[in-house]
Structure 1
Amino acid sequence: MSAAPSPFASPPHGLTDRLTRWARGLSGKAEEGEEETPVERRSRASTAADREITRRRKLYDDIGAFLFAHDLDLTSMNFSVALDYLTGTNIGIEKAVKAVMMERGQVTNSWVETVVAEQRADEITPEALVAMLDKVEENLTLFTGLMHESRSSAKDYGAALQEHAKDLASGGDAETVLGRLVSLTRSMVEKTRQVETQLRDNQKQTQALRSGLENARQAAEHDFLTGLPNRRAFEGALREELSLARAQGEPLAIGFCDIDHFKIINDTHGHDTGDRVLKFVAGLLTKISNDRCHVARHGGEEFVMLFRGKTASEACALVDKVREDLAGRSLVNRANGEKMEQVTFSAGVADVLEYEHPRAALRAADRALYLAKEHGRNRVYVAADTD
């Protein structure tokens, strides 16, 4: 008869191992090859999750501190640059931020826009576009080959079925014929699976290429600072709207708008403030745009507008409302909180259909714009029909 175990005896070997591992875990000295218990795993996972939450919170705090320290707008672009810099995700951004901080001591909104634009320009080079187009052509060739192979396999499979059907009809051994049919069907199913897999891969690559080409098109047709279409995109819209206006017998007006004394704004308040003024004016003009009214940045402080279904005088009235809105605003320099001088623009409008070529209408609107400048600025003129 065995004696009852003493309450002071050593614990079983398994418990001893667990206690040892637990103690080592607390001291951070767990040996390689030791197995964790479910409790230990849950505890470690919970600790890792807490550390990740703490890390993210600190990163959010660091990003916020970076944005506020440099007086950057709370935009996705600025947030992305701060994230890339603080985490080192984008080496180019990290080096650029360090360089500008060494040189100037501060990062600005306009600098961020310039650097990001350069980064995107590097990503979407003519060589990259050629490579993407080559890949599209390669995918199309592969797709055509897969379709041809699939049709050939289906044709061969149909012909083989007919042959085996003839064998059965002529009294051939049914078991042998059925065995061949099963083997043939398995082979066809396997080929079909292979083609489907290749087609799925081809579809994924095509989707990625489509996204890349769309990004390239957006970058090529939009002004990065204001978000408006650029001159290239506007010229395309002009061709389309001119064709529609002629086909539907509608009027078509075009206008140029130029911010008055913009150089003085830059020289007095700095280029960051000048950029904000450009974006502000772009926002006011965007309010009147729709599928029949197009607004674009033509370059510098100049914007161009196109109005289908509006005469030159009607378009002039629309632009003049925006001019009045801007002239009545009291803008403030965010850098120092000081009130800025009145910001205004001058504009010229012309009837596109009054001219033999759209470029002649553009020149007429441009002349009307500079006539408005000469006569005191902060006004909108309509080009004379005889121009």
Structure 2
Amino acid sequence: MIEYDTDPDRAQQLSNAALAMMAELGVAAHPNNYTIFFNYLSGEEPDLKQTINILRSNHREFDELQCRDLFTRFFDTVREREIVSRITDDLRNQLTSVLETVRNAGIDTRAYGEALDHFCEYIGDKDFTNLEQALKTLLGATREIEGVNRILETRLDNTSTEISKLRRDLEDMKREAMTDCLTGIANRKAFDLQLRDCAMQSMETGKPLSLLLIDIDYFKTFNDTHGHQAGDQVIRLMAQTLQQNVKGRDTAARYGGEEFAVILPMTGLGCARQLAEHIRHNVETRTIISRTRHQELGKVTVSIGVSTFEFGEPLARFIERADQALYLAKAKGRNRVATERQITDGNKVIRTLDITAPEPKKQRCA
């Protein structure tokens, strides 16, 4: 849990500053957004502060989608920690209960051992009365230890079942932590981890690795015109389109807001570009129909940037080239695919071939 400054004066100052900043940026004043900007100004979340500073330096708008993405990325982890804490407490209680049962079983076992010792002493005794008493004592001790063992066995079975449930809870939590809640595909956290793993595999195997960065053209205009529900519908449609066009080894992810990414292991630049064209064409041919009003809302298009990993380079540079190619595609009129070969460090076009959008090939490279 985030620890806040308990100074009421400072808290009031931060609160006023957060509301003023939200008003300045045109951010809707609801609790989730307030949480974002209060923590930004407090400095309690350095990664959040750095992210917002980068967005502001790039003149990005803090619309509802952007703010929702920030909240999901930085504050949904609180829920994860609460789940982990609950699971840990449940497991601790289960193990404590089992240990207590085992300790009790240990005490009863010692008592049973004492009964056996007494019985052995009476075996040589010709006094049947004493022997009969010893047998009764041993029988009682035997039944008692059997009962304890049955209790222990039942408790262990119950604990095994509970631990299996806790394990499933952890797996569900991990899956939720790596999944975008709106689209059901990988989120930014999963993208970062998968890209790192794929880059390591690429260097180990010598196989190529490519990346697509995809941005929905004029999404803010569409969202403002038709409403957030229609905007969410487009976001989900984009995710479905990506899932339908990638292979099992590929990873489609929501990169943030209306941006998506596709990680393509064992895929060179040419084949990655071919897939990008196929995705672009697939999107532009679809008509968006409102599920609530049952009317056509028009079409959307996407711009796509493509880059290929250079062994040993920082992943940020790999992503940056795809991002530069994406912005080149948008600068050339949108509804385009551009690759890293069409850019220089100054974002200038050095090759103009393939910048227009031809009909995509039907087959993707193997």
Q: Give the TM-score taking structure 2 as reference length.
A: 0.63
Q: CA deviation at 1:153?
A: 6.0
Which whole-Å CA distance do the structure 2 matches of 1:334 and 1:267 have between them? 17
Decide whether aligned partners of structure 1 residues 198 and 338 sit closer, same or farther in structure 2, where only a CA change above 3 A counts.
Answer: closer
Are 1:368 and 2:322 counterparts? no
Are 1:222 and 2:179 counterparts? yes
User: Counterparts in 2 of 1:177-192, with a 5 A limit?
Assistant: 177-192=134-149
Counterpart of 1:357 (choices 295, 314, 325) is: 314
Instruction: Return the index of the structure with the highest Cα Rg.
Output: 1
8 Å Cα contact 1:124-1:216 kept in structure 2: no
Higher mean alpha-carbon deviation, 336-345 vs 355-364, is at 336-345
Q: CA deviation at 1:211?
A: 4.2
2:12 corresponds to: none
Which whole-Å CA distance do the structure 1 matches of 2:123 and 2:151 have between them? 33
Are 1:295 and 2:252 counterparts? yes
8 Å Cα contact 2:322-2:339 kept in structure 1: yes
The alignment of Structure 1 onto Structure 2 pairs a total of residues equal to 270
Runs of 4 or more consecutive aligned structure 1 residues displaced over 6 Å after TM superposition: none
Which whole-Å CA distance do the structure 1 matches of 2:213 and 2:322 have between them? 6
User: Counterparts in 2 of 1:1-387, with a 5 A limit?
Assistant: 124=79, 126-144=81-99, 146=101, 152=106, 156=110, 159-160=113-114, 163=117, 166-167=120-121, 170=124, 174-334=131-291, 336-354=293-311, 356-384=313-341
SS in 2 for 1:287: helix
Which whole-Å CA distance do the structure 1 matches of 2:290 and 2:121 have between them? 92
8 Å Cα contact 2:322-2:340 kept in structure 1: yes
Q: Deviations over 1:148-180 (max 9, x none)?
A: 665x46964785586367446655765344333
- For 2:89, the aligned partner's letter is D
Which whole-Å CA distance do the structure 2 matches of 1:143 and 1:357 have between them? 50
Which whole-Å CA distance do the structure 2 matches of 1:216 and 1:170 have between them? 65
Which whole-Å CA distance do the structure 1 matches of 2:202 and 2:182 have between them? 31
8 Å Cα contact 1:153-1:188 kept in structure 2: no
Q: CA deviation at 1:137?
A: 3.1
Decide whether aligned partners of structure 1 residues 145 and 249 sit closer, same or farther in structure 2, where only a CA change above 3 A counts.
Answer: farther
8 Å Cα contact 1:157-1:188 kept in structure 2: no
Q: CA deviation at 1:227?
A: 1.2
Q: Give the TM-score taking structure 1 as reference length.
A: 0.60
Q: CA deviation at 1:234?
A: 1.8
8 Å Cα contact 1:167-1:177 kept in structure 2: no
Identity %: 30
8 Å Cα contact 1:350-1:365 kept in structure 2: yes
2:13 corresponds to: none
- For 2:155, the aligned partner's letter is Q
Unaligned runs of 5+ in 2: 1-64, 346-366
Which whole-Å CA distance do the structure 2 matches of 1:363 and 1:349 have between them? 10
8 Å Cα contact 2:80-2:177 kept in structure 1: no
Which whole-Å CA distance do the structure 1 matches of 2:199 and 2:96 have between them? 38
Q: CA deviation at 1:274?
A: 1.4
Q: CA deviation at 1:192?
A: 0.9
- For 2:170, the aligned partner's letter is L
Q: CA deviation at 1:196?
A: 2.4
Decide whether aligned partners of structure 1 residues 266 and 194 sit closer, same or farther in structure 2, where only a CA change above 3 A counts.
Answer: same
Which whole-Å CA distance do the structure 1 matches of 2:91 and 2:318 have between them? 40
Q: Deviations over 1:232-290 (max 9, x none)?
A: 12222223333333333322222211111111111222222111111111101011334
Decide whether aligned partners of structure 1 residues 328 and 320 sit closer, same or farther in structure 2, where only a CA change above 3 A counts.
Answer: same
1:62 corresponds to: none
Q: CA deviation at 1:336?
A: 4.9
- For 1:139, the aligned partner's letter is Q
CA RMSD after TM alignment = 3.5
Decide whether aligned partners of structure 1 residues 141 and 253 sit closer, same or farther in structure 2, where only a CA change above 3 A counts.
Answer: farther
Which whole-Å CA distance do the structure 1 matches of 2:132 and 2:216 have between them? 89
